[in-house]
Amino acid sequence: MFESVLITIATAATPLLIAAIGELVVERSGVLNLGVEGMMIMGAVTGFGVAITTGSPWLGVFAAVLVGAAFSLLFGFLTLTLVTNQVATGLALTLLGLGISGMIGEAFIGMPGLKLGPIAIPVLSDLPYVGRFLFAQDPLFYISILLVAGVSYFLFYTRAGLTLRSVGDNHDSAHALGIRVVAVRYAAVAFGGACAGLAGAYLSLVYTPQWIENMTAGRGWIALALVVFASWRPWRVLAGAYLFGAVSIGQLHAQVIGVSIPSQFLSALPYLATIVVLVLISRNRRLTMVNTPSCLGRPFVPAR
């Protein structure tokens, strides 16, 4: 029972973790992309459509990553090249993704999907309590953990990571030192979009292997909140994703056992928890200001 609960929590947390870790890199570069929900839903419909068309879930995953990156580059062109408002453009990207995915996905409604199966490691997967949780998960679960470790190492132990953080903290000084601010931000935005697309593919190829309109159900917004919750630190994103995953699974179990609370309230618990956490974090202004990229959301126009 304990192991089954851990597995369901991991299943709920993984798409949040993948999307949030990508957005963390984007925001560390000084760009605020509110289009995570739109990129996730496009990744979900693309991954599902390509998988059932080709018969290969992995091709679906690859296509979802490409579409997520392409959508993010559209956002990058508008905000980094044309210098449009990042908040308004991100919201427009979400609406665009929801609209296009609904149109494309109409043909896939009700069709059985292909599931990306788990990878079981012999002997280790038979360990009590945590065997299946740690050693018999789907490949994207392991990729999500590797992404956290890789992003953490990249940001704090490599020269390129230092460059990206410097762009997010002071783009004018970085530009004066010869750093190509716009190019760095384009790369960060593309990475964030690819992660959002991958998170969407997880929903339609692992979490529920089928296409349902609006199946992201606000997870993109929770991923955005997770970045703030984690104070822009990768390992804190991991902890936050599993915390929100536990809340999501907890409300489902509460409904199953018949807790005498309106089901609508229980369904709203993950989003209510997001609001509560953000309010609590905002009370500690010092902690927020220390870790927030100083140029987050600020447009950069190189001196001519």
Q: Output the six-digit token pair for 166.
A: 């410097």
What residue type is 95 in one-letter code? L
Q: How far apart are CA 66 and CA 76, in angstroms?
A: 15
Other Cβ atoms closer than 10 A to 255: 14
Q: In this prediction, what percent of the chain has a pLDDT beyond 90?
A: 64
pLDDT value at residue 68: 97
- Separation of CA 49 from chain center: 20
Q: How far is CA 248 from CA 69, 193, 214, 245, 257, in A?
A: 28, 24, 17, 5, 15
298's CB contacts (< 8 A; 6+ apart) are 30, 171
- Does the domain at 2-291 match CATH 3.40.50? Answer given as no
Query: Do 41 and 101 form a contact (C-beta atoms < 8 A)?
Result: yes
What is the mean predicted confidence (pLDDT) over 126-139? 85
Closest CA to 151 of 260, 66, 261, 227: 227
Q: Output the six-digit token pair for 228.
A: 């703030």
213-217 own/partner pairs: CB under 8 Å, 24+ apart: 213/101, 213/102, 213/105, 213/106, 213/109, 214/41, 214/98, 214/102, 215/41, 215/44, 216/37, 216/40, 216/41, 216/44
Sign, CA dihedral 194-199-205-206, equals positive
Give the three-class secondary structure for 279: helix
Closest CA to 184 of 59, 295, 66, 51: 295
Whether the predicted pLDDT of 248 surpasses 80: no
Query: Lowest-confidence range among 11-15, 72-76, 180-184, 246-250?
Result: 246-250
State phi, psi for 294 to the nearest 5 degrees: -65, -30
State phi, psi for 84 to the nearest 5 degrees: -80, 170
Confidence of residue 255 (pLDDT cuts 50, 70, 90): low
What is the mean predicted confidence (pLDDT) over 34-41? 97
Eight-class DSSP state of 179: -
Whether the predicted pLDDT of 304 surpasses 60: no
Sign, CA dihedral 147-153-156-161, equals negative
Q: Tell me: the pLDDT tens digits for 211-243?
A: 998 899 889 999 998 998 888 999 999 998 998
Whether the predicted pLDDT of 19 surpasses 90: yes
pLDDT value at residue 123: 79
pLDDT value at residue 140: 96
Please classify residue 298 by burial: count the beta carbons closer than 10 Å to its beta carbon, then call 0-12 exposed, 13-18 middle and 19+ buried.
Answer: middle
Query: Do 217 and 60 form a contact (C-beta atoms < 8 A)?
Result: no
Domain boundaries, the chain: 2-291
What is the mean predicted confidence (pLDDT) over 40-50? 96
- Better-scored residue on pLDDT, 150 or 251: 150
Angle at 194 between CA 95 and CA 22, to 5 degrees: 90
